[in-house]
Amino acid sequence: MPQTASARRTLRRRVLAVAATAALLGGTVFAGTAGAAPGRGPKVPQPPARMSTVGGDRLAVPGTQVDLSGGAPPLPAKVTARSWVVADAETGDILAAHNAHWQLAPASTLKMLFADAVLPKFPKTEQHVVAATDLAGMGEGSSLVGIQENQGYSVKDLWLGVFLRSGNDAVHVLAAMNGGVPKTVADMNAMAKELQAGDTNVVTPDGYDEPNQHSSAYDLTLFARQGLQNPDFRAYCSTVVAQFPGDYKKDKNGKPTKVRGSFQIQNTDRLLSGDYDLARYPGVAGVKNGNTTNAGATYTGVAQRDGRTLLVTVMNPEPKHNQVYREAGALLDWGFRAAATAKPVGTLVPPLSQVKASASAAPQPGGTGGKRIDASASGASASSSHGLWTAAGVALGTALVLAVVVTAIRRRRPLPAGEADGEASESAPAEPGKASEETPAEPGGHRRRKRRR
């Protein structure tokens, strides 16, 4: 039957209403789905068009920065990380970088800054009995070393828990000893400022995903370099296996004795400890790994070869098993081959206190011709002597690691089904016999972490 004018107007209004609904839903209603436009995948995050110039103007430019004009070999072909840095730990020269100042979620690599700020404050022999309040405020699915309230631990025990197992429980206990989480966060932000790490803002000391918590590959490399000046830091970050205090043993009547048991913990840095599908990297001596939902995998490592010490930081590569370590190893390999010929594209700046000390010691203009050192471009001279301590310390640390690895027994086996490409937390070993809300661990203790809403 012919449509009346009124019927046509009614039909037109309905068509327009359906079209409007489709626009609001962002999909194609007439195709029977509310998906994205054909051929378009999820939006890939992009670095800012302009970033910090700390360490050199080239580091502010998005993309890969490298100068091969001196005859250096080409970079590895397949590096998927959103951001990375390869630097000489002794001179501070940045041999190559990719989005070095992109502010990204750091995961547990932020624990290096935590150590820079807190580790020097307490002797490693000091004992602390854990209160329930010490463990309050940890995020859901946090990585744990297995600390129990009302039990005593040495400061050394706690730091081994931080570095080997990325234990957020150990971080929170040390933060409580330091005056609490808010004070520790303030101390860490102050330390970041002292290190000229302007890309970093700390919200929680353990690196757990929080809004507005960020760092960069450049800053994480600064944190590692600073920490490696401390012999205790070097010892902890290069330890492969250790015994951690457990429960007190019981007598035949079930009553606790004064004899305390222990359990073994292993470092989850796969370049340091190896894995069933990844060999230990020659000459590596730490430093820290991490993995959360927002950050993806993150890693900062230090290695020495033929008298040269390199630092590498890799942030958020493609989510494949051990990918962050494979890319870090490939970049280190390139760095050792290229170090003699690659021209630096930037520098790791020294701490502000060193800049000020150097500036006050330098002859003033009009004197003997010396120049006042500028904080933004002071890496070359002030970093050199600073780095000598790093190289010497890492040499000792590497020797100790090799000695430990000879005696360490590692079980190498495939991952449990479905674990290889999942979202993982840093490392979350529960003490034997303790329940965990997380999914089963892969070898070395990596566990999936629940996505925060």
Q: Taking 70 as the threshold, does the pLDDT of residue 65 lie above it? A: yes
Q: Sign of dihedral through CA atoms 97, 99, 101, 107?
A: negative
Could you report the per-residue pLDDT of 210-230, keeping only the tens digit for each? 999 999 999 999 999 999 999
Token pair of 253 as six digits: 């009547």
Could you report the per-residue pLDDT of 338-372, keeping only the tens digit for each? 999 999 999 999 999 999 888 888 776 655 443 33
Alpha-carbon separation of residue 131 from 152, 430, 437 (angstroms): 10, 19, 22
In the chain the first and final C-alpha atoms are separated, in Å, by 55
**Residue 49 DSSP class:** S
Token pair of 291 as six digits: 């993995």
Q: Taking 50 as the threshold, does the pLDDT of residue 429 lie above it? A: no
369-383: average pLDDT: 41
Specify burial of residue 408 (Cβ count, 10 A radius: 0-12, 13-18, 19+): middle
Amino acid 449: pLDDT: 40
Q: 14 falls in which pLDDT band (50, 70, 90)?
A: low
Q: Taking 60 as the threshold, does the pLDDT of residue 19 lie above it? A: no
Query: Cα(360)–Cα(344) distance, rounded to whole angstroms?
Result: 28
Provide φ and ψ at 264, rounded to 5°.
-85, 140
In the chain, the percentage of residues whose pLDDT exceeds 90 is 65
Token pair of 275 as six digits: 């894995």
Q: Are 234 and 394 in contact (CB under 8 A)?
A: yes
Query: Cα(270)–Cα(299) distance, rounded to whole angstroms?
Result: 10
Question: Which residue in the block uniquely carries the two structure tokens 């590497």?
Answer: 398
Region of 254 on the Ramachandran plot (φ > 0 left; ψ -120 to 50 alpha; else beta) = left
Find all residues with CB under 8 Å of 396, minimum gap 6, and list them. Answer: 234
87-100: average pLDDT: 98
CB atoms within 10 A of CB 437: 12
Amino acid 360: pLDDT: 80
